[in-house]
Amino acid sequence: MKKSGLIFFLFLTINSFAQDSVYTRNVINTLTSKVFWGRGYTKDGMKKAADYIADAYQQMGLLPMGNNYKQDFSFPVNTFPGKMMVSINGQKLIPGKDFIINNESPGIKQQANLTPLDSLNYQATPSLTVSLKDKLTWSVATEVGEKTIIHVNKKYFTSIPKEISVDIENKFVPDFQAANVCAFVKGTRFPDSLLMITAHYDHLGGMGADTYFPGANDNAAGVATLLSLAKYYAAHPQPYSIGFICFAGEEAGLLGSRYFVENPLILLNKIKFLLNLDLVGTGEAGMTVVNASVYPKAFALLNHINNQHRYISKINSRGKAANSDHYFFTERGVPAFFIYTQGGPSAYHDVFDQPETLPLTEYRDLFKLIVGFNEKLME
């Protein structure tokens, strides 16, 4: 009877993880859909994503950290809501695939001949240049520069640029309204002690009226994993409270996490450990832990659990880095790891970071590793 009961329990546990992987995949598909428009700065993409996450928290029964699930803040951003036309040598280029515009660029409407500056860079006028690139990588700017720069993918445009026609619309928003989305599951024995799980939900948004950046691995996968863990902990309350924050403004310079640390909704010294999830949609080549060398005991504990259960093939150690939302917490003395996985598609900050090609190779094992790590931290 005991053996059969154990087998049944293990079956239920494995099945729950399987269900969570289905849920996680559905969340990724939703957040990367056209409706959310890259979770960015045009077509209300970021606001729609924040509403979606807050609604998920509410449906799970999580408690808000403040008066509601959202912590509002604002920041300046350069956006591209409308026209995005570039034609070189009479050939119309496809936004995102053939070219991107430098994120600080002002809008421009111009026709001009191109003069080579070198083998990769061409100038039309002092305010307009073209640069040939091996890979197109976009980002977010919080200011507008004086020059419009067009980055053209060498793979899709092989002739020498001689003439250009552009019609690009930008809109600078000095006070873009954003929100961190924050909730927690109250602890059963030590509710004032908190383990935190974080992920940024914003991405690059859209470049023009017809092109958006889905951001499947960056960072719909992190948000989906966070929500899956929130769902698990809502059904299985722990001795410590478990907090969940989805940050806005990460792609604009870690702005959401900095705002939270400067305006905390909970006492930062109550956070016993923070796990930040960013780029966790792969894993066949292992994973890396930022701050591993800063907190060697915690990293040894994570490795012990992983080795015991053979979850992830390899866990790489990395030192301190200001490369995701864990950073400002660590600067305020909050112990934190930033976890990201390796392998799989190389798409990053481009239109090819899509859900269809995101393998979620180690999702279940990462989920179990996080649950096991948190469990040990509460002993």
Cis peptide before 269 (omega within 30 of 0): no
Residues 48-79: tens digit of each pLDDT: 999 999 999 999 999 999 999 999 999 999 99
- Amino acid identity at 102: N
pTM (global) more than 0.85: yes
Paired tokens of 181: 């989305």
Residues 169 and 370: their CA atoms lie apart, in Å, by 44
Residues 256 and 231: their CA atoms lie apart, in Å, by 23
Paired tokens of 314: 């390899």
Residues 54 and 77: their CA atoms lie apart, in Å, by 24
Residues 372 and 370: their CA atoms lie apart, in Å, by 5
Q: Are 230 and 69 in contact (CB under 8 A)?
A: no
Residues 324-339: tens digit of each pLDDT: 999 999 999 999 999 9
Paired tokens of 282: 């792969």
Q: Are 332 and 196 in contact (CB under 8 A)?
A: no
Mean pLDDT by 10 residues, the chain (379 residues): 42 51 95 98 98 98 97 98 97 97 98 96 97 97 98 91 97 98 98 98 98 98 98 98 98 98 98 98 97 98 98 98 98 98 96 97 96 98
Residues 286 and 284: their CA atoms lie apart, in Å, by 6
